[in-house]
Each structure stands twice: as C-alpha cells, then as structure tokens.
Structure 1
Amino acid sequence: MSSDPPRNVSTASAGRNKSVNQEPVTSVLPGGDVPYDPNQEWDADGEVLAALGYKPEFKREFSLFTTFCVSFAILGLLPSFASTLYYGMGYAGTAVKQAHTRIQTGMTWGWLVAMIGIQCVAMSMAELCSSMPTSGGLYYAAAVLAPKGWGPFAAWITGWSNWMGQVTGAPSVNYGTAAMILAAASIMNPSYVPTNYQTFLLTVLIMLIHACMSSLPTRWIAKINSVGSTFNMLALIVVLIIIPSANNRESRGLPKFTPSSQVWGDIYEGTSFPPGVAVLMSFVSVIWTMSGYDSPFHLAEECSNANIASPRAIVLTSSVGGIFGWFLQLVVAYTVVSIDDALESPVGQPFAAYLDQILPQRISMAILALSIVAGFFMGQGCMIAASRVTFAYARDDCFPLSNIWKQVNPVTRTPVNAVWFNCGIGIICLLLIFGGELAVGALFSIGAIAMFVAFTTPIFIRTFFVGNRFRRGPWHLGRFSPYIGALASAFVALMVPILCLPTVTGDDLTPDLMNWTCLVYGGPMLFVLVWWAVSARTWFKGPKVNVEHLMLGDGGAAVVQGKDADADADADSSGAPEVVGGKAAEDLKKL
C-alpha cells in the first residue's frame, strides 16, 4: 500500500478551473466536466468532494485521530467481545478437555484466520475511500464502478444492505450493554433474574440517550468520541493485565493457565456440524466485533484531508482492533474454567459468567463496569455512523420521506432528523428481544452479513469488472490491489452462507433453535428486490449530484444543477446524470 502526495491544489481559483479528470477521484460526473458553484469557494477537500458531485454541507472538524477515535469506539473491542462471546465460545473450541469442558480453538486460530480475510476487506475499502471520500461511501462506489446498465441496481443493493447493518448496529450494541448491566445485578443479587421486558426497557433508554448525544454539533461529537475511544483502549489494556494476573483458577485446583497444547488443539463441540465448519461459524464473533472500520468512510465529508486521513483511519482501526482483539481472545482461552457453565449460567450473559468463574467478585464487577462504560460509548459511535449513512442515502432519495431525513440541522450542522429516524427503527428491531435469545441474536448476524455484503459488493466490482475505469486516490494498494480484492471477495462469499447455519441439524432442529438470520435479513432484502423490480428501477438512478458542473466541448458548454435537473438529470446506465440546460458562455467567463 502507498500514499501518493495529494494531487489536488488548495486554492479555490485553481480548483474551479479543474475538470473531474484532474482530481484523484472516480466520479459519477462525466470526466471532462468542471464542478462549479458561483456562490462558494472550495478548499482542497471541497474540490475533491465537488468533483464527486456534492457541495460541502458539513464542517470538517474531524482529523485522522478523531476519525480513528469514532471508528475505534464503534469497534469497541471489549464490549463487542463481551457481547458476542456466546458465538466465539459456543460454536468452536480451543482444546481443553477438563471434565466436561473444552476451550475453543475458534478463539485462537479462528481469530487469526478470520482477520486475514477482514484485513483484505478493510484495505480494499480504504482504497475505494481514497478515490471516493463521500458519506455515501460504498453505495456511491458501487454505482460508479458497476458495469454499464448496472450502476443504479448495484447502488440500490449495496445501500440497503449497508443501511440494514448500520441501523441494527446501535440496537445490538445497546442490547449487549443492557444485558451486562442486568447481569451485574444478578451477580450482586443471585435471586434476581432479568426479564425480557426489563432488558427491552433498559435498552430503549440507552438508545434515547445516544440519540440525544448524536444530535450535538460535530465538534462536541468529536470530543465525546475521543474520550470514548481513549476509555475503550485503556479499559482493554486494564482487562488484558488484570485477568491473567488476578484469576483464581489455582484455588479450584487448576493450573493458573490452561496448557498451550490444549488451548491450540482440539475443538469444543458446540454445534452438530464438523469441526471445520464449527470454527467458521465462530467467525460471527470476529466479524461483528470488527465491523466498525467502515466508519471513516461515512465521516469523510466531515474529515480534513479526507482522501488520505479517512483510508488511513480505516486500516488503522482494523489493524489495531485485530491485534488487541486477538490478545483478548487468548486471555479468555487460557483462563476459562468451564465453557458450559459460562454459556448456561442463570446470569444470562456469558462474559459476566466467565468473569464470575475466574475472579473474585469485586474484581469481576470492576471489569464488568469497564465493559459497560465502553459499550455505552460504542453504541453512541454506532448511532453517529448510521445517521451519516441515512443522510447520504436520503440525499439521493432512497427512503420514503427523504426530504425530511436529509435535512441538516441549521444550528448543530448535523443530520439530526436522520439520527432520530434510525433511533425509531432501532427500537422496533429491539422487539426481537421478546422472541428469545436466538431471535435477538439475529441482530448480531444481520450486522455481520449485511455489512459484509455492502463492504464487498463495490470491492468485487472494482476487482473483476472495472479494469482501467478506476482512478485511484492518493492512498492505494498499488499492484497488490486486485489480489487483495480477490481474497476479500472470496472470504465474504464463504462466510455469508456459514453465518446463516443453525447450531443443530436433523431431528434436533426445532423452530426455537433455528438461526433466524436468513429470515430477518433475507426478508427485508427480498422486499427491497421486489420494490426495485416493481417501482424503484423506474425512478432510482443512483447518486444525485447537487453541484453545478460545466461540460466543455466543441459546441460550447452546458450547466446542470443536479438537485433541480429534469427527472433528476436522467441518468445514463452507469448512474451518471446527463447534462441538461445551458447558460454556459456567461458562466465560463466567470471562471
């Protein structure tokens, strides 16, 4: 990978004379057009965004560090690991045959194998981000890169899948946080057993608090997430130190740590599938935990030096998260006493039950408290990222009532309406709590599958269909790009069906043991496909530009205003609007 020096110039006057071909972007605009706004001067970031067809609407108050902070807060390694320990621990095992217990190999080898595929996805996404640093992100990239005639459809599928992953992010995180809070109450008072109703109400309360926080100005949001990310990192380091040093396995007549030959050996049989498939099924924990690295893409319009800082933040998040996440997996694998007891504990939360197994109560409660606070910050970061995705798609009229959801609040300069729209959808999703653990568990699998489909669709198109139509940005993978993209695509193609498998097969499979991911994700996506076939294909043309641009040619020039163009500037088959209207001679003189 490499970072070329920025090719765009910083002066507004020079930027307003440059055509799209002179910018380091792959744009929906025709290559020879010159983005133009008589009422606004652009800086370097504004020029790049204008070349993509959008006028600047946010203050660029995120830096590389603060963008990384948001994405790392969304990654939330400690609370993510705590929330999904059931999947990593219950599906495959790292070998410990102690009485009736084994530890999972999916937590050791599995994390390493999964991270190879995830890192390929992250690096390929970062390359796209450098070339197309806009809030629409993956959706915009799919529209621009798709083969002729397929741009709008690729954008439609990518956008809706990404939105489903984003909108279920905050509810799933906040559900995990609420479960940890109630589990702490159960540890302190063993006679207390949380009910679904209590879990639902507590999760809804956290959702409402996050919606209020996410409606603040960008500057405040950046500061809050800097604090949250710092806390997440410090809490993770504290946990990595305390658990190995303070565990009380020896008081149970066990060695302080499980022997390495057992941790890296046999597999805990947590499913009816063969061991290899069971290990792959445990990847849902890794994939869901590591799904926040796309956030810098969606925050690109609020980040300075976006076509370099945003892709760097993507790779930094996935790399740091992968390394520290593996360390946390190893700590648990070397110290867990009984997987069965952790999974079946009346506490109702495997991570809390695991801590109660190996630590004195005061220490386990302290670690649980750190995980809860980290989870709170993580949920808020998820809501921020989701609101930017909703805003970007509403800007292109993807949703019913898009005119409402795409409004930027004039006071905070943030998409407040989109925040509350997502909050409402998230609360509706939380009704799955009343369907039981497997039903609400679909929120986690949806997040993994929906995000992976959205992540990889433009990567797959870029790798196998684009050829030389892709104009790389200043951050790129060089000659390794097609190989890394191919590995990313193959990994996702393998994992999507795996994540839909139930834990049991044959006569043992009953409705209450079914993996409902295929229904909860597939149902809405089927509706989206039917909607496309019946109606959307006639009016949805992909990204809508909202910046005027001049087309220079033999016959003079023409001007188009994307937001006002007839039929939203009838798009050509690649999703790019035709140039209509024309008052060019007068405007060319201004340039």
Structure 2
Amino acid sequence: MSSVEKEKGVGEGQLRVGEAGFDDVVAHRLEEMGYKQELKRNLGMVAVLGLSFAIMAVPFGTSTTFPIALVDGGPVTILYGWILVSLISCCMAASLAEVCSVYPTSGGVYYWAAMLSTPKYQAFSSYLTGWLGTVGNWTVTASITFGGSQLILAAVTLFHDDYVPTAWQTVLVYWASLLGSLAINILYNRHLDKLNTICLYWTGASVIIIIVTLLTRAEKRNSAKFAFSHFDASLSGWPQAWSFFVGLLQAAYTLTGYGMVAALCEEVHSPQKEVPKAMVYSVIAAGITGIVYLLPIIFVLPVDKIEYLLDVPSLQPMPELYKIVTRSAAGAMCLLTLILGIWFFAAVGSLTAASRCTWAFSRDGGIPLFKVWRKVNTHYDVPLNSLILSTIVCALLGLIYLGSSAAFNAFTGVATICLGCSYAFPILCSLLRRRKMVRNAPYSLGKFGWVINSITVIWITFTIALFCMPTSIPVTPQTMNYASVVFAGFSAIAALWYVTYGHKNYKGPQVAVLARRMSLSSDHGDRRASMASHRSVGEILAQ
C-alpha cells in the first residue's frame, strides 16, 4: 500500500475489494478474528431480517403467551406492556447491532464478551456468556416448538369439545415437530433464505386477514375505554403494580430472538452492515406488528368468558377465542392455520440459529465433546452434528411437561433470562471500558450510546428476578414457574464442565492466541509489543 493511500485512509480491505470480491474481504476479516470460512455466504439483509422476524413470530408468540398478560392485568398489560418492551427492545437491539458491526462472527455474544473484556477475564467472560447464549437459543427453540405443538392439539378441541390433550400426546407432537424442523434445516438449507423472505409476507398477510375477520365477525366489541385503560389483576393474586411487570413476560419473550441471528454472520454477505440493520429493523417491524395484532384482539375479547378461556384443556386460549368471536369452528381453524404457518417459520428459524450458536461455541471448546459438534458437513453445508445436538437437547426438555403443565412457562422464562443476560454482558463490558471499543463501529450509536446501553443493562438486570416469578399466586405445582429450576440445571452442567475441563483448557475465542503472542513478544523486550500487550485483542481488532 502506498503512503498516499495510507494518508487517505484507504485500508487493505478496501483495496482488495476490486481484486477478489467483497466476500474475500469478509473472509479475510474473519481470519483476522481467528476463524476460517467454512459456511457459504448466501444470505442478504432481507433474509436475515426475515429470520429474526420469524424467530420473534409476533402473532404466534403473543398468542401462545396471551394467558400471561391476560391474568396479570389484561388490556393495559397487553397493550402498554407491549409498547414499553418494544421501546426497550429497540435499545437492546441497537446496542447489540453496534457491537456486531465491529465483530461480525457467528460466535456472537460470547465472542463479543471476550473482545470487550480485558485479557485477564477474556476466557471466563466468553465462557459464561457462551453458555447463557447457547442455553437461551436452545430454550427459545424449545418454547417455540412446544407452543406450536399445543396449538396443533388445540385445533382438535375446536371440533371436539370433550377432547383433553394428554401430556404424552403433547410431547409426541412436540418431538415430531422438532424432527420436522431438523429435516428442513438439513435438506433445504440452501433455500432457507427464500423461506425467511416468505415469512415476512406470510406474517403480514396473516395479521391483516386475522384482524379483519375478527373485527367484522364479532357480535360485540369492547369500548375504547376498556381497550386502552382497563386493568384487572385480581386473577393473578399479585399487587397491581407488580402484576403489570410480571405480565411483561408476554412481550419480553416474544421480542427476544433478534440477537440470535448474529450466529449467522458467517453466512451473510457484508455482515458488519447487514446483520446489525436486520436486528434493529426486525424489532421495529415486530413492535408495529404487535400493536396492529393485539389491539383488535383486545376490542373483541369476550370479557364474560376470560376465566373460561384461561381454563381450556389445551392451555392455549387463542384458538377458542377465535371460535367464540367468529362463531365457527371452521372459521377459527382457518385463522389458526395462519398462526401455525407463522409457527412453522419460527420453529425452523430458531433451530437454525440454535445450531449455529452451538457450532460456533464448540469451535472454541465451550461444550463437552466439542470436537464432534464443531464439524461442518460439506455435503449439506451445515453443522450437522450441532443441529442434531440442539434437537436432542430440546427433545429432552420436553420431558419436563410430563411432570408439570407449567413447562412452557419455564421455557419462556429461561429463554428470556438467558438471552437477556447474554446480551447484557458484552454491553456492560463495553460500558465499563467507556465504549472505546465501539467508537469506530460501522453501525454507531454515537452520543446516544451511553444512554441506550445503560437502559439495556438496567432492564435486563431487573428482568432476571422478574421472569422467575410465577404468573399467579398462590403457587401450586401446576402454576409454579420452573424457569429457575431449568436455569439451575444448565448452570450445574456448565459449572461441572468448567471445573473438569474449562478452567485449564478453555482459552476463549481463537483470536486469544494473538494475545499470547503479543505477551511473548513483550517478554523479549519489544517495547511496542509491550505497549500492545496491555491492550485487549478486541481493541486491536476494533481498529
């Protein structure tokens, strides 16, 4: 490179664009971050946006968690809780997008935690965040697939009022759904970009069809006063103010999957630009979609049948609400089919993201038997073993339902807590280091970064305790929130692996080798290397 080019700020990557194409530049950047290009880059921003939107699956997610907000306040919690969490989620997504634009790798949050930490805590930071992110990905996949399985059986109850789905029937449908998602991820991996794009159109069309049908078929509509100001927490048993916050789990769970798409950075063209935009745009789109979908639901909600809806055998009241409002089992089934279509995209997409997260963490030795899970199948161009592992873990989680019908709430709670914590940790590291690592981020928050990052960390800290709470009291084995139990189980596995292997062998992302080399150079008296060794590897890569 000439001195003139250096003075103009032209980087090596910019010069290489014309010679070998932009994907080569991205692959070179990936090598600088410690990895070789193993997966094909065949995704664009719209496909990633579609995947993020599919994982959040707003009409499906808000429908399956509808009982939570309905018990804990009703219309006020449903509507204003959604708006509040949507605004906070925009802050969270923007915070993650900024970091992702600096370190666009499939390692995602655990890689970012390592790069934003000081060298002393690099390995432990990435290990902790890696496990939180991986467990969050697994439980999101489990909760999405499980909720859809309940809806499938709820479809039967639309035509047979005396049918009560058994726990085993629900688990078997759940397992079959997981196997279906696995098969699609393996056999149709090359077409997932088209699938995610279709999801955007399907969801938009479904929301319009559902709300128009409900509003035109409803015999009674609630007043605007009821829709915008009615609050009733009597069914929850909690004090009114606290009940509102407990009910926020409906919105927080639905609006939590956007960070998962970082695991696909190594399959995206220009990931430092496209993935951050997809994260933020998907949350904005999801927030608007939620308001458009939930507000009409509140207007047609049969107030005199709320307790009946909460006691339906399938534990999913939305299909029955469709039936009551449309006065037709067939009509309700048609609307439910649209929701199940959204669920299909969400189930497939969440398993895609979970498998990539598992694969990335395994590359750096974060999971037991990591040498097995980090392999990429060249025939299908997917991390096949990680796909299978993610499916098996989710299948085993389904067994919880055989002991308690509150399993779904446990999945939603753990998913929200784990993903939230994994999002918060790298952002907290960035704040503690005065955001100097992201000062030149391609997707920069500028002067608002401090405020946006702080809101993110404070909110996530608050929700750790909040979403371990049962949705109602007094607590019974059926209404207990087992999120803390599932969280403790995974924590025990992570701690055991760290004690037996990780604390001696886990070094964090492979780029940590650079830190060791710098340290060795400084030992030989190289003053410049010595100065560099007091900076984290992340600082060097961030430049």
Q: State TM-score, norm by structure 2.
A: 0.89
Residues in 1 aligned to 2:484 and 2:534: alpha-carbon distance in whole angstroms:
31
Asked if residue 130 in structure 1 is aligned to residue 95 in structure 2, the reply is no
**What residue identity is the alignment partner of 1:322?**
G
Task: Report how far residue 433 of structure 1 moved.
Answer: 1.5
Aligned-pair distance for 1:498? Answer: 0.8
Matched, 1:83 2:64: yes
Query: Match of 1:56?
Result: 37
Shift of 1:330: 1.2
Closer/same/farther in 2, CA of residues 539 and 554 from structure 1, 3 Å limit: closer
Task: Select the residue among 245, 255, 271 that pairs with 1:306.
Answer: 271
Which of 267, 281, 293 in structure 2 is aligned with 1:328?
Answer: 293
Describe the superposition over 1:174-200 as per-residue Cα deviations: whole angstroms up to 9, x where unpaired: 111111111111111212221111111
Find the counterpart in structure 2 of residue 349 from structure 1: 316
Instruction: Find the aligned partners of 1:153 and 1:388 in 2 and give their Cα distance.
Output: 21
TM superposition shift of 1:231: 1.6
In the TM superposition, what is the alpha-carbon distance from 1:138 to its structure 2 partner?
0.6
- In 1, the alpha carbon distance for the partners of 2:456 and 2:294 equals 23
1:515 pairs with 2:481? yes
The Cα of 1:305 is off from its aligned counterpart by 1.2
Counterpart AA for 2:480: M
Instruction: Determine helix, strand or coil for the equivalent of 1:294.
Output: helix
Percent sequence identity is 24
Separation in structure 2 between the aligned mates of residue 226 and residue 404 of structure 1, nearest angstrom: 32
Q: 1:517 to 1:555 in 2, by over 3 A?
A: closer
Post-superposition CA distance 1:199-250 (Å, at most 9, x none): 111111110011011113643221222223332232122223222222232x
8 Å CA contact retained: 1:180, 1:349: yes
Point out the more displaced range, 211-220 or 284-293: 211-220
Compare the two structures and name the one with the higher helix fraction: 2
Q: Which residue of 1 aligns with 2:214?
A: 243
CA distance in 2, matches of 1:467, 1:455: 15
- The 2-side partners of 1:534 and 1:368 are apart by 48
Which among 319, 327, 337 is matched to residue 360 of structure 1? 327
Match of 2:502 in 1: 536
Q: Choose the corresponding residue for 1:149, options 120, 145, 148.
A: 120
What letter matches 1:283 in structure 2? L
Bigger shift: 429-438 or 316-325?
429-438
Q: Distance in 2 between matches of 1:368 and 1:6?
A: 55
Partner of 2:133: 162
* 2:185 is aligned with 1:214: yes
Residue in 2 that maps onto 1:98: none
Match of 1:465 among 416, 429, 433: 433
Equivalent residue letter for 1:319: I
Whichever residue aligns with residue 51 of structure 1, its letter is E
**Farther off after superposition, 310-319 or 73-82:** 73-82
Q: In structure 2, do the counterparts of structure 1 residues 573 and 493 end up closer, same or farther at CA, with 3 Å as the change threshold? A: farther
Q: 2:407·2:482 contact (CA, 8 Å) conserved in 1?
A: yes
Measure, in 2, the Cα distance between the counterparts of 1:488 and 1:8.
35
Which SS does the other structure have where 1:368 is aligned?
Answer: helix
Q: Does 1:294 align with 2:259?
A: yes
**Partner Cα distance (1:350, 1:243) in 2:** 15
Q: What value does the CA root-mean-square deviation take over the aligned residues?
A: 3.0
In structure 2, C-alpha distance between the alignment counterparts of 1:306 and 1:357, rounded to whole Å: 46
Write the mapping of 1:409-448 to structure 2, written as runs, cut at 5 A.
409-448=377-416
Offset, 1:45 = 1.6
Deviations 1:103-135, CA, capped at 9 Å, x for gaps: xx1111111112222111111001011011000
CA distance in 2, matches of 1:573, 1:79: 49
Partner of 1:192: 163
Find the residue that maps to 1:491 and give its secondary structure.
helix
Q: Which segment drifts farther, 379-388 or 71-80?
A: 71-80
TM-score scaled by structure 1? 0.82
**d(CA) in 1 for partners of 2:421, 2:367:** 20
Alpha-carbon distance between aligned partners in 2 of 1:545 and 1:72, rounded to the nearest angstrom: 32
SS at match of 1:266: coil
Q: Is the 8 A contact 2:23 2:269 kept in 1?
A: no
Q: Specify the code of the residue in structure 2 equivalent to 1:238.
A: I
Shift of 1:448: 0.9
Assess if the C-alpha contact under 8 Å between 1:152 and 1:575 holds in 2. no
Distance in 2, Cα, partners of 1:127 & 1:192: 50
What is the DSSP-based 3-state SS (H/G/I as helix, E as strand, rest coil) of the residue aligned with 2:147?
helix
Residue 485, structure 1, aligned to residue 453, structure 2:
yes
> What residue in structure 2 maps to residue 268 of structure 1?
233
CA distance in 2, matches of 1:154, 1:289: 27
From the superposition, tell whether residues 389 and 262 of structure 1 become closer, same or farther in structure 2 (CA, over 3 Å).
Answer: closer
> Partner letter of residue 410 of structure 1?
T
Moved more, 218-227 or 377-386: 218-227
Code of the aligned partner of 1:231: W
CA contact (8 A) 1:145 1:470 kept: no
- For residue 390 of structure 1, report the CA deviation from its aligned partner: 0.6
How far, CA to CA, are the matches of 2:240 and 2:153 in structure 1?
Answer: 33
Distance in 1 of aligned mates of 2:366 and 2:449: 31
How far apart in 2 are the matches of 1:314 and 1:6?
29
Q: Using the TM superposition, name which of 332-341 and 152-161 deviates more.
A: 332-341
The runs of 5 or more residues in structure 2 that have no matched partner are 1-8, 525-532, 539-543
Give the paired residue count.
518
Q: 1:233 and 1:546, CA in 2 relative to 1: closer, same or farther beyond 3 A? A: farther
Distance of 1:212 and 1:289 partners within structure 2:
25
Deviation at 1:553, TM superposition (A): 13
